[in-house]
Amino acid sequence: AEGLKGAPAPFDKGGVKVALVGYISGGDFFRAFDNGAQRQASALGIDLRVFPGKEDAALQRDQIQQAINLGVKAIIINHGQPEALKDVVQQAVDAGIKVIAFDVNLDNPKVTQIEQSDKDLAEAVLGQALKDNGKAFKAGYVYVPGFAPLDRRDAVWSSVKKTNPGIVEKARWGTVSAPVATSVAAQANAALRANPDITVVFAPWDEFARGTKLAATDLGSGKKLKIYSADVSTADIAEIREAGSPWVATAATNPSVVGATSVRAAALAVAGANPPQHIAIKPVLITRAELDQYDIKTVDELASKLPAFGRSDAALAAWIPAVH
Ligand code: SR1
């Protein structure tokens, strides 16, 4: 293994084992997160062991156990069900392993928690929805409780409805069953058919938005509907910019930046440099109008146009090579 010149132990010798244990298997967000994590790990000479999730809490516990047995120095946990993980995470902590949790609240003072400032994210995109549609409209909402980012975004949706009693939530749907977009499309089809007066849908995961768009297009109701989401990928940008697309705005971080930041936080912890206990990566608002105005076709072009989207200043150190 190649060591990293000028880096603190154990990175000076290289081959530091770190595990990345996921919960959700599909979708652009999680693919890009893993790519960013892998790029940052390679730059640090980390031997990253990736355990893909299958939306199976028992499997995820087992994978954390496997990572402990492998002798990893750190474990990054990407989503999951807190109650199924807390004791096995405590075992890792007791074994001296550093734990970084992205979007799953493990409620453990020894664990660094990372999130995408979900409150800001939901406020930004719902602010755009109010700007576009006024303060009174019939809405659809896509939600699955029990996932930290969705619950934080849900708190903002509840508060926006409370402040604007003219917003009426006519239907609610959502599932994390893979493939998510296809499963959501079937639900959205029924909900939109039963509630033809819905004009706005808040779909705060890009897979939710993609499924809802699919249903609206099938029903021919795309023209009178506007979809507001979270997340962005190159495929999402194409869907948002498609002629007549109902998907008009999203608020997002760059998921590969979030993956890279998670690995940097793990590296700092392993080097004894104590990363902050809570790291929040700031999202940006992305509207179809702006994508069209600057003719942005890819996530890389978005990062060049909006530097705040292309990087995070969290968990940096002089010895950690930057990845873009
Ligand atoms: C089921 S949770 C899905 C969300 O996780 C990440 O936070 C992404 O932003 C996605 O929206």
Residues 115-142 have pLDDT tens digits of: 999 999 999 999 999 999 999 999 999 9
Domain identity same for 141 and 267: no
CATH number at residue 197: 3.40.50.2300
For residues 270 and 235, membership in a common domain is answered with no
Ligand 1 touching residue 147 (CB < 6 A): yes
311-321 pLDDT, tens digit each: 899 999 999 99
Phi/psi at 313 (nearest 5 deg)? -85, 5
Name residues whose C-beta falls within 8 Å of residue 230's C-beta, 6 or more positions apart in sequence: 118, 121, 122, 125, 149, 153, 204, 205, 206, 250, 251, 252, 283
Residue 149 CA: which ligand 1 atom is closest? 7
pLDDT (0 to 100) of residue 105: 97
Do 123 and 247 fall into the same domain? yes
Atom of ligand 1 nearest to the CA of 115: 7
User: Locate tokens 């990928």: which residue?
Assistant: 233
Residue 68's pLDDT is what? 98
Whether residue 10 is contained in a domain is answered as: no
Q: Distance, CA 7 to ligand 1 centroid (Å)?
A: 33
* Atom 3 of ligand 1: nearest residue by CA position: 205
What range does the domain containing 87 cover? Answer: 16-115+255-281
Phi, psi (deg, nearest 5) at residue 220: 75, 20
ipTM of this model?
0.99
pLDDT confidence bin for 20, thresholds 50/70/90? very high
Q: Within this chain, do residues 98 and 125 fall inside the same structural domain, yes or no?
A: no
pLDDT for residue 196: 95
Residue 288 lies inside a defined structural domain of this protein: no
Q: Do residues 93 and 186 share a domain?
A: no
The amino acid at residue 109 is: P
Tell which atom from ligand 1 comes closest to the C-alpha of 253: 9
Instruction: Give 168-199 pLDDT, tens digit per residue.
Output: 999 999 999 999 999 999 999 999 999 999 99
Angle (nearest 5°) at CA 122 between 124 and 79: 135
Residue 1, pLDDT > 80, answer no
In a mutational test of the pocket of ligand 1, which residue from 117, 147, 256 has the highest number of ligand atoms less than 8 Å from its CB?
A: 147
Answer whether residue 311 is part of any domain.
no
| Cα-to-chain-centroid distance, residue 71 | 28
Q: Is the Cβ atom of 23 under 6 angstroms away from ligand 1?
A: no
Tens digit of each residue's pLDDT (9 = 90 or more) over 198-217: 999 999 999 999 999 999 99
Six token digits for residue 16? 């530091």
Which pTM does this prediction carry?
A: 0.97
245 vs 290: CA distance, rounded Å? 15
Q: What is the pLDDT at residue 308? A: 87
- What separation in Å is there between the alpha carbon of 30 and the centre of ligand 1? 8
- 265 within some domain: yes
Number of domains observed in the structure of the chain: 2
Q: Identify which of 33, 60, 103 to mutate to test ligand 1's pocket (most ligand atoms within 8 A of the CB).
A: 103
- Residue 220 and residue 261 share a domain: no
174 lines ligand 1 (CB under 6 A): no
Are 106 and 218 in a shared domain?
Answer: no
Q: Which residue has the tokens 């058919």?
A: 193
Same domain for 163 and 191, yes or no, is yes
The answer for residues whose C-beta is within 8 angstroms of residue 126's C-beta and 6 or more apart is 156, 157, 160, 202, 228
Ligand 1 lined by 150 (C-beta under 6 Å):
yes
What does the pLDDT average to over 42-49? 97
Q: What is the 104 CA–ligand 1 centroid distance (Å)?
A: 10
Contact 129, 140 (CB under 8 A): no
Residues 214 and 134 in one domain: yes
Could you tell me if the CB of 26 is within 6 A of ligand 1? Answer: no
Do 183 and 268 belong to one domain?
Answer: no
- Kindly state whether residue 210 falls inside one of the protein's structural domains: yes
Name the closest-CA residue to atom 6, ligand 1: 149
239 lies in a domain? yes
Give the ligand 1 atom nearest the CA of 207: 11
Q: Whose alpha carbon is nearest atom 7 of ligand 1?
A: 149
pLDDT category, 221, cuts 50, 70, 90?
A: confident
pLDDT of residue 53: 84
Query: What is the tens place of the pLDDT at every residue in 238-250?
Result: 999 999 999 999 9
Chain segment 276-312, per-residue pLDDT in tens: 999 999 999 999 999 999 999 999 999 999 988 988 9
Assess if residue 83 is contained within a domain.
Answer: yes
262, part of any domain = yes
* One domain for residues 157 and 135: yes
Q: Are residues 72 and 106 in the same domain?
A: yes
